[in-house]
Chains A and B, each alone.
Chain A
Amino acid sequence: KNQVEQSPQSLIILEGKNCTLQCNYTVSPFSNLRWYKQDTGRGPVSLTIMTFSENTKSNGRYTATLDADTKQSSLHITASQLSDSASYICVVTPFSGGGADGLTFGKGTHLIIQP
């Protein structure tokens, strides 16, 4: 069964510090891996999308990396800000394409930035 495991479940860091969130997946073969940011009570917003052939993708202070051999991805947040407090969700798309029933979602990492 395809799975996406994210760690840590929750994380608290001080404003201005860096942090790294992890995503391990078993979906294979896969088409792409996405990271979403979900503010409390809001819908998820796409941060990065990486295909299986890409190693890294940046979006401002957010940098995602992908190691397709070990089936691991990470999301690095640089110089954290209070507005980074949110849940970060990893989503893997299978190579078969097709409908959304193939998407595998992680449960997310809940990040809290303290002033």
Chain B
Amino acid sequence: DSGVTQTPKHLITATGQRVTLRCSPRSGDLSVYWYQQSLDQGLQFLIQYYNGEERAKGNILERFSAQQFPDLHSELNLSSLELGDSALYFCASSPRDGIAKNIQYFGAGTRLSVL
């Protein structure tokens, strides 16, 4: 168990809908990262937060947004969902900001199916 908790584990929804994925980082970790992993694709970095502030942005669509709250949990909001958004969404956390020596601890993921 990595100590990173993601809910829900599975989510089935329809095109055009909006969903929220939730992540609780390991106790004491200040950085939270969101990744998307589609079938046959590698992990795609979406966004990173550090202590409530956006730290880095990857290939995140404008329909997607995220935030990190004062208690350090994070939410990833996906709106106007399309079939192509079906994927595994992972949250990871690490103690510090810089990635050079940081180990990322991954949650078990949320499997999103858009029908």
Which residues of A come within 8 Å of B, CB atoms? 31-32, 41-46, 49, 89, 93, 95, 97-103, 105-108
Contact = CB atoms under 8 A, between A and B. Distances in A.
26 contacts: A31-B99, A31-B101, A41-B109, A41-B111, A43-B2, A43-B106, A43-B109, A44-B43, A45-B2, A45-B106, A46-B104, A46-B105, A49-B103, A93-B99, A97-B98, A99-B55, A99-B99, A100-B31, A100-B33, A100-B56, A100-B99, A101-B56, A105-B43, A105-B44, A107-B42, A108-B42
Query: Top 3 A-B pairs ranked by shortest CB distance?
Result: A99-B56, A43-B106, A107-B42
B16 interface: no
Interface residues of B, number: 31
Interface of B: 2, 4, 31, 33, 40-45, 48, 55-58, 88, 90, 92, 97-101, 103-109, 111
Contacts of B43: 44, 89, 105
B48 A101 contact: yes
Contact of A89 (B42, B48, B92): B42
Given A43-B106, A45-B106, A93-B99, A99 B48 contact: yes
A101 B57 contact: yes
Contacts of B41: 107
Contact of A32 (B33, B42, B44, B101): B101
Given A97-B99, A97-B100, 5 more contacts: A99-B56, A99-B99, A100-B99, A101-B57, A105-B43
Contact of B108 (A43, A49, A98, A101): A43
A33 to B, nearest CB: 12
Contacts of A43: 2, 4, 90, 92, 106-109
Nearest to B97: A99
A111 B106 CA distance: 20
A105 B99 CA distance: 13
B104 A101 contact: no
Given A101-B57, A101-B58, A32 B48 contact: no
